[in-house]
Structure formats: structure tokens, C-alpha cells
Amino acid sequence: MANHKSAAKRARQSPKRAARNANAKSTVKTFEKKLMKAIEAKSADAKELLKAYTAKAMSAVSKGVLKKETVSRKIGRLSTRVSAK
């Protein structure tokens, strides 16, 4: 148990932030999975899914959940795969 007021507040905030971060990561992963399925199926809506994935991933970057370099690398590789089909 926290002995200081500030430590108690941190203990209250930590689970909320962890849940928010987990939700953001989960959303990005879901969009990535949808995009991968569309790429493998050579679907016509892969470009729209790539755009949606990019928006969600960069949103997570701006919130500090994911690293910009990692997301940029993934977007680059996925866009190459989308344009190759």
C-alpha cells in the first residue's frame, strides 16, 4: 500500500493507463490482422485498410503507446506488400 499521497494517486492512475494503452495496442493489432488477411486474399480494399491501419498506428504513436520508428517500418513494409499485388 502506498505511504504517500502522490504514490497513492500513481497507484490509482496506473491501472487506468495500462488499460488505455492495452486497448490502443489491441486496436492496432486488429487492424494489422485485417490488412494482412486482405493482402493474402489479394482483396481490392487493401488500400483502404492500409490507410485505416496507418491512421490507428500513428494515433498510438502520438499517444506514446508505440514507437514511431517501429510503426514507420511496419507501414513501409505493409505498403510495399499492398502495392506489389
Tens of pLDDT, residues 17-60: 999 999 999 999 999 999 999 999 998 999 999 999 999 999 99
3-state secondary structure of 3: coil
In the predicted model, what is the mean pLDDT of residues 7-12? Answer: 96
In the predicted model, what is the mean pLDDT of residues 2-13? Answer: 95
Pull the grid cell for residue 8: 497513492
pLDDT for the residue 82: 95
Residue type, 71: V
Burial of 28 from C-beta contacts in 10 A (0-12 / 13-18 / 19+) = buried
pLDDT-derived band of residue 85, with 50, 70 and 90 as boundaries? low
- Is the pLDDT at 15 greater than 80? The verdict is yes
Residue/partner pairs of 66-74 with CB below 8 Å, 24 or more apart = 66/24, 66/25, 66/28, 74/32
The answer regarding whether domain 5-84 maps to CATH 2.60.40.1180 reads no
Domain residue ranges of the chain, discontinuous segments joined by +:
5-84
